[in-house]
């Protein structure tokens, strides 16, 4: 069934697909975001789940004029809360090459004497310092994993803020960061604190090795 | 007060004959001032006299010699046609004025109360030390402001444009903060009106900031912009910039992502009610939570929140509001009712067409793309929402905006985007307002 692209079932599935793409293709030097939903088709599969076929337009966060078309299939498993939706995608055309930016970040962090520590990215006024932008893009990519794992047809997540990030020094070639992020869930409007341990290497992509929802403080 | 009685009793034309009494009183005043170490200008006035002939000039010059009057010549008498400015202490006002009048010398009151001026100047000096703007022209629209700064802006705007703008207090928040609404009116009585509110959800900072910009924009354009001028010829505009001041203060001090009001919930540690689930439209139904800890908690009953009740009362008492626009962020959407039910509103077609036009206008400025539609189809089911209630009250042109962006920064929109967001949104607002103006019902 053809869905109006502006209607919520389509936009939620699209947000999930975009998050998954960010996880698979994002890095400190590259961030992707959903620009538009061109087309959405929903197909219910009795007793099994719901499938969405999507045609999306994605933009490069660092270069707004640069967009790529993306087709994606999202499959929400019926009633199963523990299984993440299946997502597959194809990107038409080339994404901007992030190798140089990634390498610069990699070398910079590897050469730090003291582990990187930072909070509140962006800050209350939306500021992100240039040095923190790659740290943020890495979180953007890694949060795509968390979003993917926790999405249903009734959720729409966005990364609201990095509350805290701490580098964990490793003896191997990987960079490791321990993030506490705030996810904004659009339907419930909740702000959900989430911890994630992120591993990254320029040639090996982003991995979330550990993640868990954190308790919210009721006094806030 | 006693002075008036004395002079009144005598009924004399020339008050100078009471100088003896004056001397005693002035002496007392001087003693008090010396004792307390302060000099006060309460009730002092500055009079301006422009002598037009030699006789007048002479009479004014004579005043200089009467030390008991303690006159302070800011501009001393010099020549005909040149103004003479005299600061007259309160006790001397009556005798001096009587003297001038008795001699047929006209004067004008340049400063009605010198102390008030001194006080204002002192405040302004304090302000400029803390770098608060002295006018809405020096106010920085490209940054986020505190509640105090916005309330000061409101007062400045009213003071600068008393013929167009007035400030109404429609109620108080839970924590007893005043709820201010700006009224923009070119006259008339209870004209059909447009209502705009920003900041009902406190974390949506670009909305309060845009509200401030809208206020200034209305003042700037109300005469030279044809569209706005013609709107104001027929209609009033009401603008509530900080609709949830308690929440806003909380986002500044404790939790930048606070959404709700700050009311205490009995039997719960959790604070606050979602002010956009607290209206009497589908209240209690799906699309809001009954859990006080939830961000969409509807509250114990409809209009339990004073911030909401104040607007409800205002709208009902006004009785002539024709368009109601409640502004949120983020998602880049223009929405019309309903949120609580899938039943389309009777005016769906018209509202959809207006939305299309408004969104096109918005996009035309910076290419920002918006979707539009009813709340329930476009974002989610939401019960107890603002514009569902206003629509059911008969306010046909009820809209909600979700401003920039679509999630890259979300609530934490960089300040550099405030003005572009406000500018493009204003174009959409004008479409809605003009449509209302042309289709009054």
Joined together, the tokens standing for residue B316 give 């009902």
CA distance B403 to B201: 13
Average pLDDT of the segment spanning B102-111:
87
Shortest Cα distance, chain B CAs vs residue A54, angstroms: 17
Name the percent of chain A lying above pLDDT 90. Answer: 91
Task: Provide, rounded to the nearest whole percent, the portion of chain B with pLDDT above 90.
Answer: 70
Q: What is the separation of C-alpha B363 from the centre of its chain, rounded to a whole number of angstroms?
A: 29
User: Which residues from A are below 8 Å from B290, CB to CB?
Assistant: none
Residue B30 has a pLDDT of 64
Chain Cα centroid distance, residue B187: 17
Q: Which of B56, B305, B402, B424 is catalytic?
A: B402
Q: How confident is the model at residue B41 (pLDDT cuts 50, 70, 90)?
A: confident
Closest residue, chain B, to A122 (C-alpha):
B412
Which band of pLDDT confidence, cut at 50, 70 and 90, is reported for residue B127?
Answer: low
**B2: closest CA of chain A, how far (Å):** 58
Chain B residues in contact with A182 by the CB 8 A cut-off are: 257
Tell me the shortest Cα–Cα distance from B120 to chain A, in angstroms.
32
**CB-based contacts of B354, cutoff 8 Å, min separation 6:** B397, B399, B431, B432, B435
Residue contact B379–A186, C-beta within 8 A? yes
- Asked if B379 lies within 8 A of A182 by C-beta distance, the reply is no
The whole-angstrom separation of Cα B273 and Cα B290 is 10
pLDDT band, very low/low/confident/very high, at B21 (cuts 50, 70, 90): low
Cα distance between residue A163 and residue A160, in whole Å = 9
* B22 has a pLDDT exceeding 80: no
Give the minimum alpha-carbon distance from B406 to chain A in angstroms, rounded to a whole number.
8
Which pair of structure tokens corresponds to residue B403? Answer: 């401003």
Alpha carbon distance B296, A203 (integer Å): 43
- List beta partners, residue A180: A164, A195
Which range is least confidently modeled, A113-122, B25-34, B273-282?
Answer: B25-34
Give percent of chain B above pLDDT 70.
Answer: 89
Distance from CA of B270 to the nearest CA of A (A): 6
Sign of the torsion formed by the C-alpha atoms of B65, B66, B72 and B75? negative
Q: What is the pLDDT of residue B35?
A: 57
CB contact under 8 A, B295 and A122: no
Q: Is the Cβ pair A182, B274 closer than 8 Å?
A: no
Query: Which residue do the tokens 């009953």 mark?
Result: B301
- Note whether A4 contacts B259, CB cutoff 8 Å: no
**pLDDT band at residue B68 using 50, 70 and 90 as cut-offs:** confident
Task: Using the predicted structure, report yes or no on whether residue B367 has a pLDDT greater than 90.
Answer: yes
Question: How far apart are the CA of A112 and the nearest CA of chain B, in angstroms?
Answer: 28
SS3 sequence of B205-236? HHHHHHHHHHHHHHHHHCCCCHHHHHHHHHCE
Buried (b) or exposed (e) across B66-95, using 16+ Cβ within 10 A? bebbbbeeeeebeeeeeebebbbbbbbbbb
Mean pLDDT throughout A50-67?
94
Give the pLDDT of residue B414. Answer: 98
Q: What is the pLDDT of residue B268?
A: 96
Interface of B with A (CB under 8 A): 143-144, 251, 254-259, 269-271, 274, 289, 293-296, 331, 369, 371-373, 377-380, 406-417
* Chain B residue with the nearest C-alpha to that of A155: B380
Does the beta carbon of A125 lie under 8 angstroms from any beta carbon of chain B?
yes
**pTM for this entry:** 0.80
pLDDT score of B13: 45
Cis, bond preceding B338 (omega within 30 deg of 0)? yes
Asked if the model's pLDDT at residue B4 lies above 50, the reply is no
Dist. CA B106–CA B73, nearest whole Å: 17
Q: Find chain B residues with C-beta within 8 A of A190's C-beta.
A: 294-295
Instruction: Work out the pLDDT band at A218, boundaries 50, 70, 90.
Output: low
The Cα A51–Cα A77 span in angstroms is 9
pLDDT of residue B378: 96
Average pLDDT, chain B: 91
Determine which helix (DSSP H) or strand (DSSP E) holds B389, and give its type and residue range. helix B386-392
Using CA coordinates, name the residue in chain B closest to A182: B257
Grade residue B111 by pLDDT with cuts at 50, 70 and 90: confident
More confident residue, B16 or B403: B403
Nearest CA in chain A to B417: A126
Tell me if B407 and A4 make a contact (CB, 8 A cut-off): no
CB B180 within 8 A of CB B169: yes
Is the model's pLDDT at A219 over the cut of 60?
Answer: no
Measured over all CA atoms, what is the biggest interatomic distance in chain B, rounded to whole angstroms?
86
A145-165 average pLDDT score? 97
Per-residue pLDDT tens for B243-292?
A: 999 999 999 999 999 999 999 999 999 999 999 999 999 999 999 999 99
E-strand stretches of chain A: 2-3, 32-45, 49-60, 63-77, 86-92, 117-121, 157-168, 175-185, 190-201, 205-213
CB of A162 less than 8 A from some CB of B: no
Among chain A residues, the shortest Cα distance to B145 is held by: A125
Cross-chain residue pair B417–A126, CB shorter than 8 Å = yes
Whether residue B369 and residue A186 make contact (CB cut-off 8 A), yes or no, is: no
Q: What Cα–Cα distance (Å) separates residue B312 from each residue in A145, A183, B281?
A: 44, 33, 12
Q: Where residue B112 falls among pLDDT bands split at 50, 70, 90? A: confident
The predicted pLDDT at position B8 comes to 42
CA atoms of B375 and B242, how far apart (whole Å): 23
Candidates B411, B413, B414, B420: best to mutate against A (most CBs of A within 10 A) is: B411
User: B269 and A219 in contact by Cβ < 8 A?
Assistant: yes
**Which region among A47-51, B30-34, B76-80, B428-432 has the lowest average model confidence (pLDDT)?**
B30-34
A79-93, A109-123, B150-164, B259-273: the lowest-pLDDT one: A79-93
For residue B71, the number of C-alpha atoms closer than 13 Å in the C-beta half-sphere is: 26
Please give the average per-residue pLDDT across B33-38, as a whole number. 56
CB contact under 8 A, A188 and B377: no
Residue B245: the pLDDT is 98
Closest alpha carbon to A109 in A141, A138, A143, A140 = A138
pLDDT of A17-47, one tens digit each? 999 999 999 999 999 999 999 999 999 999 9
ipTM of model? 0.94
Span between the terminal Cα atoms of chain A, in Å: 43
B138-175 burial, b for 16+ CB within 10 Å, e for fewer? ebebeebbebebbbbbbebbbeebeebbeeeebbebbe
**Facing B415 at nearest CB: one of A11, A126, A191:** A126
* Residue for token pair 């249903």: A152
Report phi then psi at A126, rounded to 5: 85, 10
Which residues fall within 8 angstroms of residue B208, CB to CB, at 6 or more apart? B145, B150, B198, B199, B241, B242, B248
Q: Are B376 and B286 in contact (CB under 8 A)?
A: no
Q: What integer is the mean pLDDT of B62-83? A: 84
Order of strands, edge to edge, in the sheet holding A157-168? Answer: A117-121, A157-168, A175-185, A190-201, A205-213
Chain A residue whose CA is closest to B251? A124
> Is B402 labeled as catalytic in the residue annotation?
yes
B344 DSSP 8-state letter: P
pLDDT at residue number B11:
43
Q: Do A122 and B259 touch (CB under 8 A)?
A: no
More confident: B74 or A37: A37
Considering only residues 46 to 85 of chain A, which have any Cβ-Cβ distance to chain B shorter than 8 Å? 61
How far B274 CA sits from the closest chain A CA (Å)?
10
Between these two residues, A47 and B154, which has the higher pLDDT value? Answer: B154
As a whole number, the mean pLDDT across chain A is 95
Phi and psi of B321, rounded to 5°? Answer: -85, 130
Write out chain B residues lying below 8 Å of A218, CB-based: 269-270, 293
Least CB–CB distance from B254: residue in A36, A190, A220: A220
Hey, are the CB atoms on B257 and A8 less than 8 Å from each other?
no
């Amino acid at each position: 069934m053809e869905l109006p692209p502006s209607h919520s079932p389509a936009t939620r599935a699209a947000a999930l697909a975009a998050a998954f793409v960010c996880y698979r293709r994002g890095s400190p030097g590259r961030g992707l975001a959903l620009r538009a939903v061109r087309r959405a088709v929903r197909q219910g599969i009795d007793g099994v789940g719901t499938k969405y076929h999507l045609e999306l337009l994605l933009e490069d966060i660092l270069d707004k004029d640069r967009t790529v078309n993306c087709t994606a299939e999202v499959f929400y498993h019926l009633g199963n809360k523990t299984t993440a939706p299946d997502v597959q995608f194809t990107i038409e055309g080339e994404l901007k090459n992030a190798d140089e930016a990634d390498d610069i970040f990699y070398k910079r962090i590897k050469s730090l004497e003291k582990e990187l520590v930072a909070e509140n990215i962006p800050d209350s006024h939306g500021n992100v310092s240039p040095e923190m932008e790659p740290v943020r893009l890495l979180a953007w990519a890694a949060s795509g994993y968390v979003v993917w794992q926790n999405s249903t047809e009734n959720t729409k997540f966005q990364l609201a803020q990095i509350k805290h990030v701490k580098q964990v020094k490793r003896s191997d070639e990987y960079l490791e960061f321990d993030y506490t992020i705030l996810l904004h869930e659009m339907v419930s409007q909740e702000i959900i604190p989430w911890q994630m341990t992120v591993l990254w290497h320029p040639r090996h992509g982003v991995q979330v090795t550990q993640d868990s929802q954190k308790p919210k403080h009721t006094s806030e | 007060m006693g002075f008036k009685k004395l002079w009144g009793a005598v009924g004399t034309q020339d008050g100078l004959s009471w100088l003896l009494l004056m001397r005693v009183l002035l002496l007392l005043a001087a003693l008090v001032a010396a004792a307390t170490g302060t000099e006060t200008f309460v009730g002092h006035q500055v009079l301006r006299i422009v002598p037009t002939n030699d006789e007048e000039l002479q009479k004014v010059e004579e005043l200089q010699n009467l030390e008991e009057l303690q006159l302070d010549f800011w501009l001393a008498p010099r020549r005909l046609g040149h103004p003479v400015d005299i600061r007259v202490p309160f006790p001397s006002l009556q005798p001096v004025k009587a003297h001038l009048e008795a001699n047929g010398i006209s004067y004008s009151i340049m400063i009605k109360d010198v102390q008030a001026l001194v006080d204002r100047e002192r405040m302004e000096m304090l302000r400029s030390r803390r770098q608060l703007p002295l006018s809405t022209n020096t106010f920085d629209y490209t940054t986020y402001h505190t509640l105090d700064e916005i309330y000061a802006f409101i007062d400045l705007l009213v003071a600068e444009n008393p013929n167009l703008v007035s400030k109404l207090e429609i109620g108080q928040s839970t924590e007893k903060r005043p709820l201010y609404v700006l009224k923009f009116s070119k006259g008339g009585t209870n004209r059909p009106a447009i209502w705009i509110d920003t900041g009902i959800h406190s974390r949506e900072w670009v909305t309060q900031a845009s509200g401030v910009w809208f206020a200034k924009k209305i003042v700037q354009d109300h005469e030279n912009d044809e569209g706005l001028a013609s709107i104001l010829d027929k209609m009033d505009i009401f603008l509530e910039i900080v609709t949830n001041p308690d929440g806003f203060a909380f986002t500044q001090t404790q939790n930048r992502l606070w959404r709700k009001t700050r009311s205490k919930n009995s039997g719960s540690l959790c604070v606050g009610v979602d002010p956009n689930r607290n209206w009497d439209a589908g209240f209690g139904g799906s699309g809001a939570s009954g859990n006080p800890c939830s961000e969409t908690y509807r509250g114990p009953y409809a209009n339990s929140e004073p911030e909401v009740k104040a607007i409800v009362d205002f709208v009902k008492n006004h009785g002539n509001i024709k368009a109601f626009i409640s502004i949120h962020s983020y998602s880049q959407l223009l929405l019309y009712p309903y949120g609580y039910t899938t039943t389309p509103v009777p005016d769906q077609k018209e509202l959809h067409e207006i939305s299309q036009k408004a969104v096109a206008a918005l996009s035309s400025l910076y290419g920002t793309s918006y979707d539009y539609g009813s709340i329930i189809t476009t974002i989610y089911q939401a019960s107890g929402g603002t514009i569902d209630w206003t629509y059911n009250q008969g306010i046909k042109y009820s809209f909600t905006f979700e401003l920039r962006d679509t999630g890259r920064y979300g609530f934490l929109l960089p300040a550099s985007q405030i003005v572009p967001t406000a500018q493009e949104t204003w174009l959409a607002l004008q479409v809605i307002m003009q449509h209302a103006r042309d289709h009054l019902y």
